[in-house]
A and B are shown apart, each in its own frame.
Chain A
């Protein structure tokens, strides 16, 4: 636990001190070859082909969702979802039309429709998968937004939202290939079941989504969903650009898949199935 704590302080430090000497706290020695910024399907990026390699600088936060662990303890996923809803004042609308979702459950066939197979494992057949924003390295939502109300935080790669700038055009919702964004079709406040004064509620007419718990990282806390998994390793969070980070150790060891990699957005969320 102590170890986990230190790890997140390190990330948090980077979040808080962005641009003013963060390197003292975070190892920035990752090379381009290991960086998450490297395109998944870059043709001959090493040979100087046409795959463009973006230099890996700074922290690039990512997540591994280990479905084996969630399959063992399904309540943990419910706890993770509940934790996110609680800390982020996410409203509970009774109908599907108004739904606001940051992290939710969906069957394998819906989470990975492009990688659907006829004969899949028992787990892929029956267990619900966790779905959240991928905090893409090349996010199409950011490209589409006409006001920069959704943007990449340069210090950690989080795809964040400015609720006060968003004009509610919903171009980002059409652009996201993962259905990760929700719109406040009406005032969400009456539908918040337990109110957390430390996080802003939203007004109607703006878009929202998972923010990788940027506000908690700044306080040295883990993301709420990761915390709810109580160190089980069902959700591993960390710096994808740091070869010594826990998340990189997991990624080096396990075979992972990502949602719709063909969309070219380079997601930062990985799944162990």
Chain B
């Protein structure tokens, strides 16, 4: 099946070339960082995690979001997802590879990364996160490949693979739960110290993952002659809508807890993210535009989805716009605000803002490009197999 990636139209090759350029830039930036140290990033003693860990956190969600296809299809036998379930599994693979790359990019001593295994420490949540991420990656590679191979031969997949498909369901939940536990178990960080973090992560994941799949389906419908089917897309938009509503609801609960209790620790980070935090006569607010844009996008995206449901209209362009808006808003919420906001103010009630450097952004884009490169190849294979069957 691998050979399918070698044949494609010029749009396919152009797209890969664009991604390849970003990958090359990212690689150069990484070599610079590897030689000098993480001092080339905007991170500091006060904001000690930056873009890398925040992208990691967001992408774990994207990987877990594939569950929203696997679950209806395999557990509820929802036939309309038959053609796209594989897209969910392949999305999980590329998202997880990006996650692992972001972790490596973030380590101060990357060559010692294996110490996490040599000196395995079960009381550290990072250890468990590593276990579930690798587990989920392997499960998805296995299930995706076996099922696609069977599909190509037009036979039923072997029975044993379903065991792994079913195991992958709780695994999807666990990857994002354990990732939430990296944050919500830390005693001194009020913004993260909340039991709603894991549910909120899952809700946002179940909107972000399917949004990306919808966008991919629309792109492939236009350029790769692959039609996911109207029913499947419609169902996905319903899933996105409910997950995004639940995510918003959870976020508003955080607002209530902070602003009604008026406990300083619970307000500060929210204040910093949405209104700017005043400190020693200076207002720190570099994330405020992102957070309000995200809020506006989120409500607009939801509004479009509501409109389509209520007016019973279906339009691929509207679906695409709504999915893109919601995806961006969830990215800004979790891929920026959640991690950076948690460090403001620091435990000594001081404020230091984080501004990523160009080199750091180069690496970040390079890793995203690598993920999309892998995703493109995997989807090319999946679509190629579909076409082969149809022919």
Checking B43, B103, B347 against A176 with a beta-carbon cut-off of 8 angstroms, the contacting residue is B347
Contact residue range for chain A?
A: 35 or more
A171 touches B126 (CB 8 A): yes
A170 at the interface (CB under 8 A from B): yes
Complex CA–CA separation, A112 to B44 (angstroms): 22
* A168/B108 contact (C-beta < 8 A), A143-B123, A146-B126 known: yes
Chain B 104-122, CB-CB to A under 8 Å as 1, else 0, gives 0011111011011011010
B107 touches A205 (CB 8 A): yes
A184 touches B121 (CB 8 A): no
A171 touches B182 (CB 8 A): yes
Chain A 176-218, CB-CB to B under 8 Å as 1, else 0, gives 1111001111110000000000000001111100000000000
Interface size on B, residues (CB 8 A): 45
A109 touches B349 (CB 8 A): yes
* A169/B127 contact (C-beta < 8 A), A110-B349, A179-B346 known: no
* A148/B37 contact (C-beta < 8 A), A183-B108, A205-B107, A206-B108 known: no
Contacts of B116 in A (CB 8 A): 146-147, 167
Checking B118, B119, B127, B347 against A260 with a beta-carbon cut-off of 8 angstroms, the contacting residue is B347
Chain A 141-175, CB-CB to B under 8 Å as 1, else 0, gives 00111111100000000000000011111110111
A83, chain B: closest CB distance, angstroms:
22
Contacts of B118 in A (CB 8 A): 147
B121 touches A148 (CB 8 A): yes
A205 touches B37 (CB 8 A): yes
B188 touches A111 (CB 8 A): no
A146 touches B187 (CB 8 A): no
B24 at the interface (CB under 8 A from A): no
B334 at the interface (CB under 8 A from A): no
B188 touches A182 (CB 8 A): no
B348 touches A110 (CB 8 A): yes
Contacts of B347 in A (CB 8 A): 113, 176-179, 260
What is the number of contacts between chain A and chain B, taking CB atoms within 8 Å? 147
Contacts of A149 in B (CB 8 A): 115, 119
B350 at the interface (CB under 8 A from A): yes
Contacts of B110 in A (CB 8 A): 167
Complex CA–CA separation, A184 to B115 (angstroms): 19
B39 at the interface (CB under 8 A from A): yes
A259, chain B: closest CB distance, angstroms:
9
A263 touches B188 (CB 8 A): yes
A145 touches B45 (CB 8 A): no
Contacts of B183 in A (CB 8 A): 174
B48 touches A186 (CB 8 A): no
Complex CA–CA separation, A145 to B116 (angstroms): 9
Complex CA–CA separation, A100 to B186 (angstroms): 22
A23 at the interface (CB under 8 A from B): no
Given contacts A98-B39, A204-B38, 7 further A-B contacts (CB under 8 A): A97-B42, A97-B352, A146-B127, A149-B119, A165-B115, A167-B109, A263-B188
